[in-house]
Amino acid sequence: MQLENKVFVVTGGGNGIGREVVLGLLARGARVAAVDLNESGLAETVGLAGAGSANLTTHALNVTDRQAVLALPDEVNTAHGQVDGLLNVAGIIQPFVKLKDLDFDVMERVFNVNFWGVVNMTKAFLPSLMERPEAAVLNVSSMGGFLPVPGQAAYGASKAAVKLLFTEALYAESLGTNLTVTIVFPGGVGTNITENSGVEMPEVQDAKPGKGYTTTSPEDAGRQIIEGLEKGAFRVVVGSDAKFMDRFSRLSPRRATELIAKKMKDLLG
């Protein structure tokens, strides 16, 4: 998909990977509607965009607010005249506790943002996207969406739901149409997702799933996501950790699960 002069809606555009996707798209000549709950974060993104901010609009919005989300396409179309792509990047994690200690309201909040936020945005923008000669939906899942991480049962389940089978079903339904559908699996990325989620990150020793593991920078993650969008890729795996565990978990799901459990054994005490 050619990006220049196209209009993309990006959730989570006020920080982390979402911000880097916004800035990367602007640098490639696209126009962007950045969506985030955090108004100050969106303002920082505008400042970082520099001259590119002329092609950027910001929309302070909670993706769990369905009525507000359903009103967003008209707002974006008014500002930009069209919508060519939707990138659902926003997401939160849960506190690092075992399922037996995890409150229902916390699990519901995680699912409301990570799964229902994606559903709300996708349902809202699909009619506009299907009217375009070329369009795209890109949903960000997680390495935790295909591999269980101790202390992140609800988070992993929400990200697995984005993958299985929501995004993949949308891909199947869109075959032969103007719409490309991409699912993204980032591994460890150096963002402030714990702070944004209201979660404290415990110290973990030797939490590296494979040799050569390094945390991916938000800039690099954003670049890989945009490259996947350009190619119309079916799936994008970001980071050496995610790539290693993606292969290992398909080869031997039980051994991969046990490896992560062992590596993360200090996480929950």
CATH number for the domain harbouring residue 40: 3.40.50.720
Q: For 182-211, how does the pLDDT look when each residue is reduced to its tens digit (9 = 90+)? A: 999 999 897 666 566 565 655 544 444 444
Q: Does 215 fall in a domain?
A: yes
Q: In the prediction, which pLDDT does 197 show?
A: 57
Q: Which of 96, 115, 146, 155 is catalytic?
A: 155
Domain span at residue 239 reads 7-263
Pure H helices in the chain? 16-27, 39-49, 66-80, 104-111, 117-130, 153-161, 168-173, 193-196, 218-231, 240-251, 253-263
Instruction: Kindly give the parts of the chain with pLDDT less than 70.
Output: 191-213, 267, 269
pTM value is 0.91
Q: For 221-257, how does the pLDDT look when each residue is reduced to its tens digit (9 = 90+)? A: 999 999 999 999 999 999 999 999 999 999 999 999 9
Domain count for the chain: 1
Cα–Cα distance, 156 to 147 (Å, whole number) = 8
Q: In the prediction, which pLDDT does 198 show?
A: 61
Q: H or E segment at 184?
A: strand 179-186
Nearest Cα neighbor of 63 from 37, 83, 33, 93 is 37
Cα–Cα distance, 35 to 59 (Å, whole number) = 5
Cα–Cα distance, 36 to 146 (Å, whole number) = 26
Q: Count the helix, strand and coil residues of the chain and give each as a percent rounded to the nearest 5.
A: 50, 15, 35
Q: Does 268 fall in a domain?
A: no
Whether 213 is catalytic is: no
